[in-house]
């Protein structure tokens, strides 16, 4: 199973926005073009994602000169699962459409491994539901790949993906 670009890019952009707000004490709105440049994401794609994030109440937009986006709530109150779900990214490992009421087999039945993949989907959602933007910004979600990467750099600290201003 692979999380699609909508969910991954929305999370990357929201972490960038949270870093601008929390880590740099920037209290005004952040432009999508700045986020797009820092994260190397298409501006038009970010505009689509932030439209959905705004409709779900995760960000606020400010129009006019000096405008941009701000977090609608504190980074400690925004869960990663909320971000992924806001951009319509399904968190499921099964081939079935959960709303159809039928399984993934041609006869409408469930495959032999359906329950395995459904439970994997549940675990992914539960994990993402326990992680906040603040957790990611503060480096509290450091898996084995992050520990290895930090050790290779020699400083033992997670690396931020946001360039210094």
Q: What is the pLDDT of residue 42?
A: 95
d(CA 98, CA 91): 11
What does the mean pLDDT of the chain come to? 81
Q: What is the pLDDT of residue 157?
A: 56
pLDDT band at 105 (very low <50, low <70, confident <90, very high): confident
Q: Is residue 132 pLDDT above 60, yes or no?
A: yes
In degrees, to the nearest 5, what angle opens at C-alpha 116 toward C-alphas 147 and 89? Answer: 65
Q: Is residue 130 pLDDT above 60, yes or no?
A: yes
DSSP lists the bridge partners of residue 61 as 69
Q: Is residue 163 pLDDT above 50, yes or no?
A: no
Q: Which CATH architecture has domain 5-153?
A: Orthogonal Bundle (1.10)
pLDDT band at 102 (very low <50, low <70, confident <90, very high): low
d(CA 125, CA 111): 22
Q: Is residue 22 pLDDT above 70, yes or no?
A: no
Any alpha helices (H) in the chain, and if so which ranges?
5-18, 32-39, 43-55, 80-86, 114-130, 133-137, 144-153
What residue segments make up the domains of the chain, in order of their start? Answer: 5-153
d(CA 48, CA 102): 32
pLDDT more than 70, % of the chain? 72
Q: Is residue 49 pLDDT above 70, yes or no?
A: yes
Query: Coil, strand, or helix at residue 33?
Result: helix
């Amino acid at each position: 199973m692979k999380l699609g670009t909508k969910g991954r890019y929305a999370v990357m952009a929201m972490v960038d926005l949270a870093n601008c707000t929390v880590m740099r004490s920037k209290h005004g709105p952040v432009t999508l073009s700045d986020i797009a440049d820092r994260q190397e994401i298409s501006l038009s794609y970010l505009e689509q994602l932030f439209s959905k994030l705004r409709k779900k109440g995760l960000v606020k937009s400010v129009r006019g000169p000096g405008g941009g986006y701000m977090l609608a709530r504190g980074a400690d109150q925004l869960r990663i699962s909320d971000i992924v779900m806001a951009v319509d990214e399904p968190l499921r490992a099964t081939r079935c459409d959960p709303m159809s009421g039928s399984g993934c087999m041609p006869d409408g039945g469930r495959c032999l491994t359906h329950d395995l993949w459904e439970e994997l989907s549940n675990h992914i959602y539960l994990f993402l539901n326990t992680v906040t933007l603040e957790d990611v910004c503060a480096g509290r979600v450091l898996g084995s790949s992050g520990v290895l990467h930090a050790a290779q750099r020699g400083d033992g600290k997670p690396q931020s993906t946001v360039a210094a201003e």
